[in-house]
Chain A
Amino acid sequence: MKKILLFAIVAFANVFISNAQEKAIIKVIYNFEHVRDTIVNYRYNEEMGLLVGKSISSYYSQRKLTQDSISRKAWEQAEINGGNVNLGVILPTTTENYFVLLRDKKLLIAAPYQQELYLINNQLEPIKWSINKNTKNIKGYNCQQAIGKFKGRTYTAWFASELPTNAGPWKLNGLPGLILEATDLHNEVRFMVKTIQKMPGQFITIPTTGIKTNLKDFNKMTKAYSNGGYSTNSILSNPDLKINGQSISSSNNKRVHIPVINNPIEKSN
């Protein structure tokens, strides 16, 4: 009897709990800046979000969330009215979502590519921070300065120990308080807090369904596409799908374009 009950509970859990989920206790919106092209001094900027839970944090593009929502509504409206689709202003966005598993010291990157979701598993790389006595007030929080080297850049970070978490934007973490600001030595990469919200009522959900891979293989695949490889995903391979009368599966429309970045955020491994 007990065995049957246990089996039923396990079966129930397997069917209905497929994603790891945690309630967010803090939500931060950052303005991210990156000088991607040093020749013309092009400074890319994007609104990014960070959800912090007790043991997981999730860093994602807030701009992408907003644009995707507008786009979805525009298509749904066009479907109902049968009219034109106005997508509004389309700006470049970061597509990857970074999940830091603070207790397990792991970094999971969920990267959508060619209509597939790739789950890239990494060990969390510890940053050797040197904490200084310098302080400053950011958005009402007393912050302390720390300096650390990561991926070929030296970052100056400001963290708030009043917000007790080791989390921070992107791959920056490991300080005894939430990182609210971080700037690299040459002012080419900057994360500046815009808003902080406690108990935002959101959940962090780690995706479990996707193609599991590692960073090396993933980069190899994207490079192959940009070097003349073509999309092979089933949606875009449909010969019925036409843009301006030309099949999207033809080489001109199918070729994968990757923006040129001559000053990557990660300068070394």
Chain B
Amino acid sequence: MKKLSILFSTLLLFAFANATTLSKDSNNDKTKKMALGKTMQVTAYDACGQKLMFTISCSSCTLTALAAGADSFIFNSTDSRGCFTLNQH
């Protein structure tokens, strides 16, 4: 019985730790949303030495969403050799 109670206590501890982490993540995400409600300028260079600059803005996005948006734009601006197709944008 003693062993069983120790096991359940351990389980409860793990569950509590998990819940705390989730709560922290959620708070972090909220902070990111507030901090990123503005325009940011992104710079990237390609395999051909070209520079790509663009602005990304969002009033209700997380850091992950902004990064995903920028990634998508860069990917769709790049040809199969890794060079930006700047004239199309």
A residues sitting closer than 8 Å to B (CB atoms) are 1, 4-5, 8-9, 11-12, 15-16, 36-37, 42, 44, 71-72, 75-76, 78-79, 82, 84-92, 115, 231, 235-236, 238, 240-245, 248, 253, 255-257, 259-261
In addition to A84-B41, A90-B82, A115-B68, 20 A-B residue pairs with Cβ atoms within 8 Å of each other are: A5-B3, A8-B11, A36-B80, A44-B81, A82-B35, A84-B43, A85-B41, A87-B42, A87-B74, A88-B45, A89-B45, A89-B46, A91-B47, A235-B64, A236-B72, A238-B60, A240-B59, A243-B56, A255-B76, A259-B79
Q: Are A79 and B54 in contact (CB under 8 A)?
A: no
CB–CB A238/B58 < 8 A: yes
Confirm or deny: B86 has a beta carbon within 8 angstroms of a beta carbon on chain A.
Answer: no
8 Å CB contacts to A: which residues of B29-75? 32, 35-36, 38, 40-47, 54-61, 63-75
Q: Are A8 and B80 in contact (CB-based, < 8 A)?
A: no
**What separation, in Å, do the CA atoms of A84 and B70 have in the docked complex?**
13
Tell whether B7 is near chain A: CB-to-CB under 8 Å: yes
Minimum CB–CB distance from A138 to chain B (whole Å) comes to 28
Whether the pair B7, A241 counts as a contact (CB closer than 8 A) is: no
Cβ-neighbour of B67 out of A75, A242, A253, A256 (below 8 A): A75
Binding site for A on B (CB under 8 A): 1, 3-4, 7-8, 11, 14, 32, 35-36, 38, 40-47, 54-61, 63-76, 78-82, 89
How many angstroms from the CA of A71 to the CA of B44 in the assembled complex? 10
Contact A256 B76, beta carbon cutoff 8 Å: yes
Least Cβ–Cβ distance between B41 and chain A, in angstroms: 4
Contacts of A78 in B (CB 8 A): 40
State how many angstroms separate the Cβ of B70 from the closest Cβ of chain A.
Answer: 7
Q: B72–A248 contact, CB under 8 A? A: yes
Contact partners of A86 in chain B: CB under 8 A: 43-44
The 6 closest A-B pairs by CB, nearest first: A259-B80, A87-B44, A257-B76, A84-B41, A92-B82, A241-B58
Closest residue on chain B to residue A262 by CB atoms: B80
Q: Please tell me which one of the listed residues A79, A92, A245, A253 contacts residue B32 in the complex, with CB atoms under 8 A apart.
A: A79
User: Considering only CB atoms, which chain A residue lies closest to B56 in the complex?
Assistant: A243
Tell whether, in the assembled complex, residue A90 and residue B67 are in contact, meaning their CB atoms are under 8 Å apart. Answer: no
Q: How far is the CA of A265 from the CA of B45 in the complex (A)?
A: 27
A17 to B16, alpha carbons, bound, how many Å? Answer: 17
* Chain B positions within 8 Å of A44 at CB level: 80-81
CB pair B42–A85 under 8 Å, yes or no, is yes
The chain A residue with its CB closest to the CB of B43 is A86
CA distance A244 to B73 in the complex (A): 11
Using Cβ atoms and an 8 Å threshold, which residues of chain A touch B32? 79
- A29 CA to B4 CA, complexed, in Å: 47
